[in-house]
Amino acid sequence: MSHTATILLLGSGELGREFVISAKRLGAYVIACDAYDNAPAMQMADAREVFSMLDGAALRAAVEKHRPDFIVPEVEAIRTEVLVELESEGFHVVPSARAAQLTMNRDAIRDVAAGELGLVTSRYRYAESLEEVRAAAAFTGFPCVIKPVMSSSGKGQSTVRSEAELAAAWDYAVSGMRGDRARVIVEAFVEFDYEITLLTVRHAGGVSFCPPIGHRQERGDYRESWQPTPMSETAIAAAQDMARKVVDDLGGHGLFGVEFFVKGDEVIFSELSPRPHDTGMVTLASQNLSEFDLHARAILGLPIPAAIRARPAASAVILADRDSETVSYSGLAEALTEEGTDVRIFGKPTSRPYRRMGVALATAGDVEDARRKARDAAARITLSYGS
């Protein structure tokens, strides 16, 4: 059977699951990889490989076995030096091995954004011990935000308001880090009006932007998002200019999730992921082409609209509250009762406290009503746990 492309997906969570669906709709053959079997994307893919993305030998073996047209990282914690080697040998890493290497660590991408490109960021320093954390906090002042240089979905992130809280924040950051580096970034807390994700697509025809996505976090992790979020024309232009600079510097084709803090017309660069973003799950309802569709199109060299529009929509996560080896769901009919609502169950085989297990989506005449509908739908889903 012929395929448009063979894709090796590194990481198989809920974002990977939706990407697999989009890629397969365009005729791709997808091999989904993760450290555990039956991960969400594996359930949709053509084939699977189970290994740690930090195992360089296993990563190389999977690439050499499948000889993919595209290697597509879905997670940050990857042995990126192997990706650099593979790219030098002729394999296509999405969007580029350099992008994967820089964005795996918050320190690397921050140094490029602030130091090389001159983007506006908060005051920050790095630390590799509690003593260095104390010195960094003295530089940034209080309150400050402490987070691992490598983590996912806000894990290990906390806001510190006094010196007495630094030790606990350091311990929490180390416990939430991914990979093998005990290093954190300490940055001044930004007094922002709101924060956004600007989904930015770099493709064969240029750079396209999705309407900005607003989001709310708890424990450093996203709980709900909505699109479009109101921004002044000045702020939008500033965000797009900074996003274009950083994605052009990273190179390659694909979708990037670029995060900003916004205060009035002032825009401050925060972070970047060279892949679909969790807050961007709202695009499953808001846009005719979701972030996953756009990522797949850009990778495959297919046309991307110059102007991407969004109807008012929102997403709200469905969380687990305990560790369990088995999970079942009820309340789906109730969640879908109100017109314009939808639900995605991720199919994760096990649960743990605060793990995202699904997301509710809603469209409405305005964003606030969509947010209400999404929250209500998520609240109607009940998780039941086995022993």
Active-site positions read: 152, 154, 259, 271, 278-279, 356
Residues 6+ apart with CB under 8 A from 40: 12, 13, 14, 16, 17, 346, 347, 348
Distances (CA, A) of 360 to 9, 132, 211, 367, 374: 25, 42, 20, 14, 5
What is the rounded distance in angstroms from the CA atom of residue 51 to the CA atom of residue 73?
Answer: 14
Instruction: Check: CB of residue 318 under 8 Å from CB of residue 360.
Output: yes
Instruction: Check: CB of residue 57 under 8 Å from CB of residue 34.
Output: no
In the chain, the N- to C-terminal Cα span, in Å, equals: 43
* 202: three-class secondary structure by DSSP: strand
Question: Helix H segments across 203-282?
Answer: 233-250
Q: Is 292 left (phi over 0), alpha (psi -120 to 50) or beta?
A: alpha
Token pair in block for residue 89: 């040998």
What is the rounded distance in angstroms from the CA atom of residue 98 to the CA atom of residue 105?
Answer: 12
Please give the helix or strand (H or E) that residue 192 lies within, else none. none
Using DSSP bridges, classify how beta strands 254-263 and 194-203 pair: parallel, antiparallel or unpaired.
Answer: antiparallel
What is the rounded distance in angstroms from the CA atom of residue 346 to the CA atom of residue 153?
Answer: 16
Residues 6+ apart with CB under 8 A from 282: 213, 225, 226, 227, 313, 314, 315, 361
b/e map of 140-161 (b: 16 or more CB within 10 Å)?
beeebbbbbbbbbbbbbbbebe
